[in-house]
Structure 1
Amino acid sequence: MKAAQFSQYGGPEVLRIVDLPDPHPGPGQVRIRVHAAGINATEWKIRKGELSFGAQLPQTTGRDVAGVVDELGEGVTDVALGDRVFGISDDGAGAAELALLTYRAIIPVSLGFVDAAGLPIALETATRALDQLAVAGGRTLLINGASGGIGSTAVQLAVARGARVIGAASAANQNYLSLLGADPVTYGEGMTERVRALAPGGVDAALDIAGNGILPQLIDLAGGPQNVVTLADFEGAKEHGVHFSNGFTDGHAFHSLATIGKLIEAGGFWLPVDRTFPLAEIAAAHRISENGRVRGRLVLIP
């Protein structure tokens, strides 16, 4: 099969399309023929050498996938051959023609492969963070970095729980956040004052997705570090006593894959795809993701 791989750490140019042996599922796994694969920030951070998780070079890449089941491992009963599924590629090898999945779900009827491929990691990450912050009806949540894939997902999931959401993003994304159900505010100097204009008593909780050094302001607005979770600022979390949410150490929330369909079919959830790329252009997709000016998701189409 064709797959994306890198043999050294560095910029997007280290990515290569190579021929690898076709994988076959073990117990509990399924193999899919990949129709679409999402791009996540974790992947380019691993490619740059900023994260490792103990993996050795050369490495494949890609975690979010959607496609059609073409092989079943021993003991699999939740899906059948020919089913359209989406989920998390085992071993981070989803930017390929074939992928193995342990965590998966049937694609909601109204979604195509491209839209489904943008969901898994964003769903899991946002759900985990909202659970850690005990986001529920009657609470006010501030999301810093609310317009990207995880941010867009967190906004809508929090609104579906009955929370009020204040979303911080660039000026260009204010109307977009309103469409998702958030009260938008702009980044930059004076953001704390703009949030307090909407919530004079502060907020109940704050989620940092942007990782732009704003944790002290979020702590002030949320009434203490115990009410703040960051997904992006590891060093700031240590400095300020904020929880850094990480699925590798906190446990995962992949149950969200099986439950999102009902919200999608009710019209309560939508995650836009910003751009699609053929697999051969994965370096360009990584470059755009790394620049951080994406509304929604970037998706590869093998």
Structure 2
Amino acid sequence: MSILVNRANIAFLINIFLVLFLKTDQEVESPIAYLAVIVFAEVLFLVKYIKDRRKSAIDIAFITFLFLGIWESAYKLGFTHPVLVPAPENVFYVFIEQKELMLAGVVSSLVLLAWGVGLAVILGVFLGLFTGWIPRLREAVVPIANVISPIPPLVYTPYVVAVMPTFKIASIFVIFSAVFWPTFQTMIARVSGMDPKIIQSAKVMNVSTPKMLFQVILPYTLPDIIGGLPGTLRGAFLCLTGAELLGATSGLGYFVKKFSDYADYTNVIAGIVLMGIVVTIIDVLVKKLESSLIKWK
């Protein structure tokens, strides 16, 4: 199939036509931001397809443009409620109109996420390393961890927000809880489940305990820890936005809550889209980090 003539590119052109030429009596903001999004999506598709030549790239782009085309047509033809389902032009124009508030929200959320995830990963890795290495400690701690870890942090988020001295500390604690237990338990499982031949080989070479832990076992377990970070980060981000819906004065969750209180669903949907963009970028960066740092996997 030609790179220029395929269903994804046809859907892209149809979207451009709908934006520019399909008229409506409904309120529509400037289409500049929305057109920029469509063009950017098309450029990403072309780059991905030229690089990998995978048909899945065509399918993903086609589904995306089909969804946007249906959304655009439904609004302009009056098939949707203009308040509950605003025009895509209006939603993406929010990224221009509210850019300062959105940027402040992204920065606020990422700072809290970095603190919570950073502390959780560091403590989860090192405590899991020692717990997994010492059998008696492992037998005592694992049953306790198995009881605590299944409790979703969102369940106790309202309580934590209420009792902690500041919202930032409460948010960091919630994020920490979402990331620490999976990291801690994964680390224990990997250390205790290591191939005994690796341990025996190191002992034959008279490797000391500190070197065994930090030069043999830690590099062995890191690929699984970093490989599981994208899923863990998604859970942490979910907990963070849940906390921000309750008591924040900034952040992505606060942005959505602020405008939902006034039934301004154009801004609400824009905030939800922004969350998806931020999570996607974090996923991509973590995978890049894994491929660049973990070369011995």
TM-score category (smaller protein): under 0.3
Q: Structure 2-normalised TM-score?
A: 0.26
Structure 1 or 2: more helix by fraction: 2
Larger Rg: 2
Q: Structure 1-normalised TM-score?
A: 0.26
Structure 1 or 2: more strand by fraction: 1
